[in-house]
């Protein structure tokens, strides 16, 4: 394993790249070509390749998951594959991850044009957006009962089947380094899928080359998430001492049926004390919903965004982006370009499925045991947290991770991006934790430059920069 071998691999890869450049479409298989996106309506010219379509994960039920692959801008054959999952449960990776967070494009207000995201994560890797489970976004099932009986287990199993069958279609990714990433309820999806891959690899002739996972503002442990959320509300002066003390002393925080006192004071906090704010970023203006458009729920446990609020545009942040996604992805020409909705799904495309969210029937109380298993397997694990999110706040994540009792390798320090403090980080044995200063629930939406730095550091396996 000397340096000579490394030089040969690099040279060979460069030769392959040159061959691909000269051969063009001949490089891709017929199955890949069928999924190629020539151009999306309103899209600027790009230098990278895109593919999208369906992979059937259960023939008997007619379940098929939709994906959108945006290959790396530079040297895609030398870059890893990162699978991105959004949470909810029931929310679309196309609506959020691809369209307002880490994808290459941003939507305009009328849903008529796309413009480039200069901090897109496909600057560093090939990004595969997966809409899971069936019923999310363009993913579908022919068995209606599936929409009323789903949960963590089926999501993980179907997502694994998707990866196995997708790699049969895109064979050039079979040996590639794979990373899983996501946010919010993907704090369940990502480690659970990693566990499924680990079990599959133990028996597989051709194992999936999973190297690590990264989750942001992640639902992790029911008790500590709930305790951490109430603590965040109080520590940020969002609720009164009286309400906080009552919640602490009357709530179990285990996700089970709470006492009447707990329920009453929780409702009082939401209705009377928090006010009409965007709970996904407590310092950002909420979206004006006076036109009657629906602002969808993104978390299993917490309420809808507040309605009927006027807002001013601050720091380039637009709180209404999901509304633009619902305009754009319901266009027939957009669906045709994406090879989406080919079976004519009997409902409109939505950013989140309320049906799935309401009927989520199995949810692990804690994924901390899964983390322990994955740490033992030697996977790279990063957990990050935007520190102005009150839905899955930084206190919840810190309370949860503390239960792992991991030895500290590199003590707490500020990390930097563009000569400014991007957040704070601590490196443990088997896991890196980082905050992103001033970021809400969707970290790349609020702090795109810092999020890209975080992503690059994760892929390199190096601690975040101290200066």
Give backbone dihedrals phi and psi of 151, rounded to 5 degrees, phi first.
170, -165
State which H helix or E strand residue 84 sits in: strand 81-85
Catalytic residue among 184, 299, 385, 457: 184
Catalytic residue among 120, 389, 390, 400: 389
By the 10 Å C-beta count (0-12 exposed, 13-18 middle, 19+ buried), 398 is classed as middle
Q: Residue 47 catalytic? A: no
How distant is the alpha carbon of residue 251 from its chain centre? Answer: 30
Query: Is the Cβ–Cβ distance between 196 and 344 less than 8 Å?
Result: no
Residue 191's closest CA among 400, 345, 8, 51?
400
The full DSSP string for 215-256 is: EES---BHHHHHHHHHHHHHHTTSS-HHHHHHHHHH---SSS
Q: What angle do CA 398, 399, 402 make, to 5 degrees?
A: 80
Q: Residue 184 catalytic? A: yes
Q: What angle do CA 300, 306, 307 make, to 5 degrees?
A: 125
Query: Is the Cβ–Cβ distance between 400 and 225 less than 8 Å?
Result: yes
Round to whole Å and give the CA distance between 51 and 128.
Answer: 9
User: How many C-alpha atoms does 108 have within 13 Å on its Cβ side?
Assistant: 9
- E-only strand ranges, 113-218: 114-116, 126-131, 150-151, 178-183, 210-216
Q: What share of the chain is helix, strand, coil (3-state, %, to 5)?
A: 40, 20, 40
Catalytic residue among 188, 224, 339, 441: 441
Q: Residue 254 catalytic? A: no
The residues assigned a catalytic role are 184, 389, 441
């Amino acid at each position: 394993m000397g340096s000579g071998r490394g030089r040969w691999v690099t040279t060979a890869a460069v030769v392959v790249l040159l061959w691909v450049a000269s051969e063009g479409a001949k490089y891709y298989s017929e199955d890949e070509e069928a999924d190629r996106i020539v151009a999306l309506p309103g899209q600027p010219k790009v230098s990278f390749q895109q593919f999208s379509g369906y992979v059937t994960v259960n023939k008997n039920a007619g379940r098929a998951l939709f994906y959108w692959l945006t290959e790396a801008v530079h040297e895609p054959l030398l870059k890893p594959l990162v699978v991105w999952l959004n949470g909810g449960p029931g929310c679309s990776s196309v609506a959020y991850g691809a369209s307002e967070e880490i994808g290459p494009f941003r939507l305009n207000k009328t849903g008529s044009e796309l413009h480039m995201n200069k901090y897109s994560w496909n600057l560093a890797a090939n990004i595969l957006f997966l809409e899971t489970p069936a019923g999310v976004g363009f993913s579908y099932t022919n068995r209606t009962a599936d929409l009323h009986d789903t949960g963590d287990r089926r999501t993980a199993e179907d997502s694994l089947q998707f990866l196995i069958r997708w790699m049969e279609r895109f064979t050039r990714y079979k040996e590639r380094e794979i990373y899983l990433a996501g946010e919010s309820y993907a704090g369940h999806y990502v480690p659970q899928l990693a566990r499924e891959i680990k079990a599959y690899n133990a028996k597989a002739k051709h194992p999936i080359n999973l190297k690590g996972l990264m989750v942001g503002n992640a639902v992790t442990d029911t008790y500590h998430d709930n305790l951490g959320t109430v603590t965040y509300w109080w520590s940020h002066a969002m609720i009164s001492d009286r309400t906080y003390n009552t919640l602490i002393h009357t709530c179990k925080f285990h996700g089970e049926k709470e006492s009447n006192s707990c329920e009453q004071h929780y409702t009082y906090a939401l209705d009377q004390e928090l006010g009409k704010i965007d709970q996904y970023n407590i310092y950002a203006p909420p979206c004006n919903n006076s036109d009657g458009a629906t602002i969808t729920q993104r978390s299993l446990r917490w309420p809808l965004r507040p309605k009927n609020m006027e807002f001013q545009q601050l720091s380039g942040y637009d709180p209404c982006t999901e509304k633009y996604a619902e305009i754009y992805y319901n266009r027939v020409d957009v669906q045709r370009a994406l090879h989406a909705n080919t079976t004519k799904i009997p409902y409109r495309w939505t950013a989140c499925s309320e049906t799935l969210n309401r009927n989520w029937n199995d949810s692990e109380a804690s994924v901390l045991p899964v983390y322990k298993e994955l740490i033992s397997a030697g996977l790279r694990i990063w957990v990050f947290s935007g520190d102005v999110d009150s839905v899955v706040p930084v206190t919840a994540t810190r309370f949860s991770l503390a239960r792992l009792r991991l030895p500290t390798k590199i003590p707490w320090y500020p990390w930097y991006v563009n000569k400014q403090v991007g957040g704070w980080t601590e490196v443990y044995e088997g896991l890196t934790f980082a905050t992103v200063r001033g970021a809400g629930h969707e970290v790349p939406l609020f702090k795109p430059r810092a999020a890209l730095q975080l992503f690059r550091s994760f892929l390199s396996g190096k601690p975040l920069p101290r200066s």
